[in-house]
Amino acid sequence: MIQALADGILTGAIIALGAIGVTFTLEIMRFANFAHSELLTWGAYIALVIVTFAGPGTPTGPLSFGWQLLAAALIAAVLTGLAAWAVDTLVFRRLRRRGALPLTMVFAAFGAALVMRHLIVLVFGHESRYYTRELQIAVELLPGVRVLPDQIFILGLALAAMITLHAFLAWSRTGIAMRAMAESPALAQVCGIEVDAVVRLTWIIAGALAAFAGVFTGLTPQLHPEIGFNLLLSLFAAAILGGTGSLAGAVTGGFLVGLAENLSLLVISPGYKGAMPFLLLLAILILRPQGLFGARS
Amino acid sequence: MSHGVAPHLQVTDLVAGYVRGLPVVHGVSIEVDRREIVTLIGPNGAGKSTLLKAIAGLIASEKGRIRLGGRDVTALPAHRVVSSGIGFVPQTGNVFTTLTVHENLKVGAHLVRGSLNERLERAYALFPPLAARRPLRARALSGGERQMLAIARAVMADPTLLMLDEPTAGLAPRVVEEVFRQLRGLAEAGIAVLMVEQNARAALGVSDRGYVLTEGKNRFAGPARALLDDSRVAAAFLGGR
């Protein structure tokens, strides 16, 4: 039971990182980006390329990797952010400019997702990859609760990223401008805010957080071309559960979805784990369609 | 109005609309000088709001020229129009309801580099009711307070031209008076004020000059007093006498 809670929190942190990007895209660009999950995969593989050349580093303390992997994750975050923006420039922005219908955007996103996923398969193949072959021994955090030191580290990094983003949105003038544009692009422009600049920044933040989520997924324990895709439903369930547009919502949603997935294992067979985000999503849409933090009717 | 020098805002033969080839404004020319309030009146669909949006850069102009302080701003996108000195208060959705009063003012000065403290204090001094509402989200404000916030937000960027689309719509008479008094103060401080008003008689009462637009074209123009006294204008556009 407590073990499932611990696992749920760890999965939840990763889902939350991805869900933040989904909710930002929904709020600023106003479309459901079903290709967002592929950004996790891209981030994970970009970090893999860097690690392949630079090495994962000598294990530091109880961790299975050294600073090189962290540096790789940071570089992957920047590159994935730029990749997200590039996909927008190539596909989504053109459609937005033409006033594409929401359904068109959804299909375009699915198309972009397929292309992005298969590019990874083309280059890296289907087989599983590892950042590091170091074996890790789980530590007993509480009686009966075993976690890997890597997992604790990941949770800490994920929380730090969320707190940094929160501070940025709450205090910085650029953060306030982003929130302003989320509410009203027309009024934001009248205030001198450049829509394209905010869109670019949004993609970079969404892509960077997705890359972190991807690297963290790949670390525990392996990466394969479907690591992002397998989280797609969980990301959307978390974003919708939290109420779109709210950072706190996406984070809370992420943790709740992670917990629900892992706690469900106590009562149902692991084979059905994949259905949990779907069930949650259904329950949210029926009981509280605006999400936990959503204000809109 | 003209003192031999070019007027601050000079709109010449402007053609603009929401869809290219289907203009709503069919060649309107207006001028506004600093220190004066100019009101646009006319029936619904006359193109008054469209004209303001075109000047603000929110919709593209198909023909004609918009000059501000001698500089051509016709083709500038909205976010660049702001830095040329034009402040715009739209009719609806003119404050960010999810942001606090303080954040709304900060967003208004988005393009201003460096510390905003002095400007923020000046805005609160100009609109004292806002000072007490500083940490509240704008959705918690009354209609009059929202309008004040919308005007204060636009003034944060230090515009030389302030445009307002129906600034008194839906406000109580006492608040209407207060809004007009504020606009008078801003004009006296050197700003050119251009507004669209349904409340035509009251608006002309505080204005220096006015334009009557119909069907996207200039119909009448003149000093506010003269328009108020003109029986043709009064009968058709001021709701009779």
pLDDT of residue A295: 62
Rounded-to-integer distance, Cα B224 and Cα B240, Å: 16
CA distances from A131 to A50, A78, A248, B30, B167 (A): 10, 19, 31, 67, 61
The token duo for B21 is: 């080839």
Environment class of residue B21 by beta-carbon count within 10 Å: exposed (0-12), middle (13-18) or buried (19+)?
A: exposed
Average pLDDT, chain A: 90
Residue that wins the pLDDT comparison between A275 and B124: B124
Q: How confident is the model at residue A134 (pLDDT cuts 50, 70, 90)?
A: confident
pLDDT of residue B4: 58
Q: Indicate if the pLDDT at residue A292 is higher than 80.
A: no
Sole residue written with tokens 């949650």: A280
The token duo for B77 is: 């996108």
Interface test mutation site (partner B, options A27, A172, A187, max chain B beta carbons within 10 A): A187
Check A188 against B153: CB less than 8 A apart: no
Chain B residue with Cα closest to A197: B79
pLDDT of residue A268: 85
Q: How confident is the model at residue A145 (pLDDT cuts 50, 70, 90)?
A: confident
Q: What is the mean pLDDT of residues B85-97?
A: 96
Residue that wins the pLDDT comparison between A244 and A87: A87
Residue that wins the pLDDT comparison between B241 and A234: A234
Residue pair A147/A138 in contact by the 8 Å Cβ criterion = yes
Chain B residue with Cα closest to A170: B103
Rounded-to-integer distance, Cα B99 and Cα B108, Å: 12
pLDDT of residue B118: 94
Nearest to B98 among A183, A186, A189 (CB): A183
The token duo for A252 is: 């809370």
Q: What is the mean pLDDT of residues A194-221?
A: 94
pLDDT of residue A57: 75
Contacts of B189 (CB under 8 A, 6+ apart): none
Give chain B positions within 8 Å (CB) of A194.
79
Q: Indicate if the pLDDT at residue A12 is higher than 90.
A: yes
pLDDT of residue A56: 72
Residue pair B62/B25 in contact by the 8 Å Cβ criterion = no
Chain A residue with Cα closest to B90: A187
pLDDT of residue A66: 83
**H-run or E-run covering A157:** helix A149-171
How near does any CA of chain B get to the CA of A281, in Å?
26
pLDDT in tens, A18-32: 999 999 999 998 899
Residue that wins the pLDDT comparison between A274 and B80: B80
pLDDT of residue A284: 84
pLDDT of residue A271: 81
pLDDT in tens, B133-162: 999 999 999 999 999 999 999 999 999 999
Residue pair A34/A232 in contact by the 8 Å Cβ criterion = yes
Residue pair A282/A237 in contact by the 8 Å Cβ criterion = no
Give chain B positions within 8 Å (CB) of A173.
106, 110
pLDDT of residue A297: 41
Q: Where are the alpha helices (DSSP H) in chain B?
A: 48-56, 78-83, 101-108, 117-126, 128-133, 143-155, 173-188, 200-206, 224-229, 231-237
Q: Indicate if the pLDDT at residue A164 is higher than 90.
A: yes
Q: Report which of A14, A191, A291 is spatially closest to residue B153, judged by C-alpha positions.
A: A191
pLDDT of residue B3: 52
pLDDT of residue A242: 85
Average pLDDT, chain B: 93
The residue type of B4 is G
Residue that wins the pLDDT comparison between A196 and A137: A196
Residue pair A176/B99 in contact by the 8 Å Cβ criterion = yes
Q: What is the mean pLDDT of residues A275-290?
A: 84
Give chain B positions within 8 Å (CB) of A192.
79, 82-83, 110-111, 157
Q: Indicate if the pLDDT at residue B1 is higher than 60.
A: no
Q: What is the mean pLDDT of residues A94-121?
A: 94
Q: Indicate if the pLDDT at residue A183 is higher than 90.
A: yes
Q: Indicate if the pLDDT at residue A296 is higher than 70.
A: no
Residue B114 has phi, psi (to 5 degrees) of: 85, -170
Q: Indicate if the pLDDT at residue A100 is higher than 60.
A: yes
Residue A184 has phi, psi (to 5 degrees) of: -150, 100
Q: What is the mean pLDDT of residues A36-63?
A: 90
pLDDT of residue B207: 97
Check A187 against B98: CB less than 8 A apart: no
Rounded-to-integer distance, Cα B79 and Cα B108, Å: 11
Check B103 against A191: CB less than 8 A apart: no
How near does any CA of chain B get to the CA of A193, in Å?
6
Check A192 against B82: CB less than 8 A apart: yes
Q: How confident is the model at residue B71 (pLDDT cuts 50, 70, 90)?
A: very high
Q: How many CB pairs under 8 A join A and B?
A: 62
Q: Indicate if the pLDDT at residue B2 is higher than 70.
A: no
- Which residues share a beta bridge with B88? B163
Q: Indicate if the pLDDT at residue B239 is higher than 80.
A: no
pLDDT in tens, B157-197: 999 999 999 999 999 999 999 999 999 999 999 999 999 99
pTM for this model (two decimals): 0.90
Coil, helix or strand at residue B37? strand
Nearest to A191 among B93, B98, B108 (CB): B108
Q: Indicate if the pLDDT at residue B240 is higher than 60.
A: no
Question: What is the DSSP track for B205-220?
Answer: HH-SEEEEEETTEEEE
Check A176 against B107: CB less than 8 A apart: yes
Q: Indicate if the pLDDT at residue B241 is higher than 50.
A: no
Residue pair A249/A294 in contact by the 8 Å Cβ criterion = yes
